[in-house]
Structure 1
Amino acid sequence: MHLHHTDPALTDIIPPTAPRPGGRSGPLRIGLGGPVGAGKTATVAALCRRLRDTLSIAVVTNDIYTREDAEALLRQAVLPPERITAVETGACPHTAIRDDISANLEAVEDLQERIGDLDLVLIESGGDNLTATFSKGLIDHQIFLIDVAGGDDIPRKGGPGVTTADLLVINKTDLAPHVGADLSAMERDARAARGSLPVVLTCLKDQHGIEPVADWVCRRLADLTAARS
């Protein structure tokens, strides 16, 4: 069985928050990465809708040459416009989230100056491959998304995104019957590749499909709050 938001085992397998680089203060920063079409923007939108009434949230999106993802979030009105900003990387998406993070750091700083107190900043990478990871100088935790339509062999292929992200999301489970994907095999292979690191299966079309991810985010925020107290 994959983990639901009511699964008590979730707290047992998620390690406590590590110290922030350089004692960094400010909002919790969570990076979302994954291949093109995995559902990163849809997940960001769903998280904003789920958490915006209780948390102060802002979003930074990354695209190579456009503001496409930010504009999609603006059209959906998931947050007020001043809480969404875009970075045009001009190069492979992982460059701006791992190698030269200055543009993303500046975007986060601008949001903090403009809005004031923030609880959570979601930083969405442009679509990348299975090697995409975020610099720990930019984010506190990474969520990596893959989708069922990408093939049920993706967890076996591994890569740092799949094996080391703080949370792996196997998305679009509703497509499994249509693409011949074996969800049980995907979950089994993902858990084998990740050891104790958590895996959740999601379908954002379901009314409560975002809950496992939202609960994980809230627990990370609770960890950070406890560490500061």
Structure 2
Amino acid sequence: MRRFAFNGVPCSDRALRIGVCGPVGTGKSSIIALLCRELSAPLELAVVTNDIYTDEDARMLRAAGVLDPDRIRAVETGACPHTAIRDDISANLIAVEELEGDYTGLDVVLIESGGDNLTATFSPALVDVQIFVLDIAGGGDVARKGGPGIERADLLVVNKTDLAPYVGVDRDQMVADAEAARSGRPVIALSRLDTASVAELTGWVRHQLEHHRSGELVPQDPGPMAPHSHAHDDRVHSH
């Protein structure tokens, strides 16, 4: 049986939508830039970024020259970043569908979450698969702390592993902790300086695309965020 998106288009007939999520500073934009550099020749790519009050990430990617600038669209959420990737995904869906309308034959749309905490995840109604990103410089214990993204995202990337000797983190132990937390789900220890890890990441994307084109890829929900609140300008926003 073929799966259909909300607009009636068979999922396998549209672009694969990959969400990239994780805390501030973990390297989400850099990973998207890396994927665009590595895959834009064989594949047709586009990007949607999310920020609260700015299009900074989109401008950075455009300036990097990784894609035609018009293939990189920005969503300014005006609220907590996870709201637009999980609670009310309409702005992101519109941006993705506009890209698919403007560029027929897109293979992959990469959707970058605004930087958030360890609990943010994408709605499976927005993305087909999601990558959760950790920064090795954020501390070797982070992977052990768990959470829906760390434990159940389709892929966990432990990023910037080349920095491990400089920040006092045991790379192998952090990766082992991540693997233990994920019950067999894939983990990639990534450094843009390590061609083998870059190839592992691009290979994972290619595999997901093949699975999507076959019509067999079913988006999985990592689970809701834990209840929490944000205080801003004397206002409290709860989830």
TM-score, length basis structure 1: 0.88
Q: Does 1:152 align with 2:113?
A: no
Q: Does 1:63 align with 2:51?
A: yes
Q: What is the aligned partner in structure 1 of residue 42 from structure 2? A: 54
Q: Does 1:121 align with 2:109?
A: yes
- TM-superposed CA distance for 1:157, in Å, is 0.5
Q: Does 1:103 align with 2:91?
A: yes
Separation in structure 2 between the aligned mates of residue 192 and residue 81 of structure 1, nearest angstrom: 40
Distance 1:39-1:224 versus aligned 2 partners, 3 A rule: same
Determine if contact 2:188/2:197 at 8 Å carries over to the other structure: no
- TM-superposed CA distance for 1:215, in Å, is 0.6
2:184 is paired with a residue of what secondary structure? coil
2:144 is paired with a residue of what secondary structure? helix
Q: What is the aligned partner in structure 2 of residue 72 from structure 1? A: 60
Quick one: which of 176, 182, 196 aligns to 2:184?
196
Q: Does 1:85 align with 2:50?
A: no
Separation in structure 1 between the aligned mates of residue 190 and residue 134 of structure 2, nearest angstrom: 10
Q: What is the aligned partner in structure 1 of residue 122 from structure 2? A: 134
TM-score, length basis structure 2: 0.84
Cα deviation, 1:107-143, whole Å, max 9, x if unaligned, reads 0011111112211000000111111100000000000
Q: What letter corresponds to residue 198 of structure 2 in structure 1? A: I
Between 197-206 and 26-35, the greater mean CA deviation after superposition: 197-206
Q: What is the aligned partner in structure 1 of residue 210 from structure 2? A: 222
- TM-superposed CA distance for 1:210, in Å, is 2.2
Quick one: which of 26, 31, 36 aligns to 2:14?
26
Q: What letter corresponds to residue 66 of structure 2 in structure 1? A: V
Structure 2 gaps of 5+ residues are 217-239
Separation in structure 2 between the aligned mates of residue 171 and residue 225 of structure 1, nearest angstrom: 28
Q: What is the aligned partner in structure 2 of residue 170 from structure 1? A: 158
Separation in structure 1 between the aligned mates of residue 136 and residue 18 of structure 2, nearest angstrom: 23
Determine if contact 2:33/2:66 at 8 Å carries over to the other structure: yes
CA RMSD between the two structures: 1.6
Separation in structure 2 between the aligned mates of residue 26 and residue 72 of structure 1, nearest angstrom: 27
Taking CA–CA contacts closer than 8 Å with sequence separation of 6 or more, which of the two structures ends up with the larger relative contact order?
Answer: 1
Q: Does 1:40 align with 2:21?
A: no
Q: What letter corresponds to residue 54 of structure 2 in structure 1? A: T
Separation in structure 1 between the aligned mates of residue 77 and residue 194 of structure 2, nearest angstrom: 33
- TM-superposed CA distance for 1:21, in Å, is 5.6
Cα deviation, 1:179-198, whole Å, max 9, x if unaligned, reads 11011211111111101100
Quick one: which of 171, 191, 198 aligns to 1:183?
171
Structure 1 gaps of 5+ residues are 1-17
* Number of residue pairs the alignment of both structures matches: 211
Q: What letter corresponds to residue 115 of structure 1 in structure 2? A: Y
- TM-superposed CA distance for 1:206, in Å, is 3.4
Q: What letter corresponds to residue 149 of structure 1 in structure 2? A: A
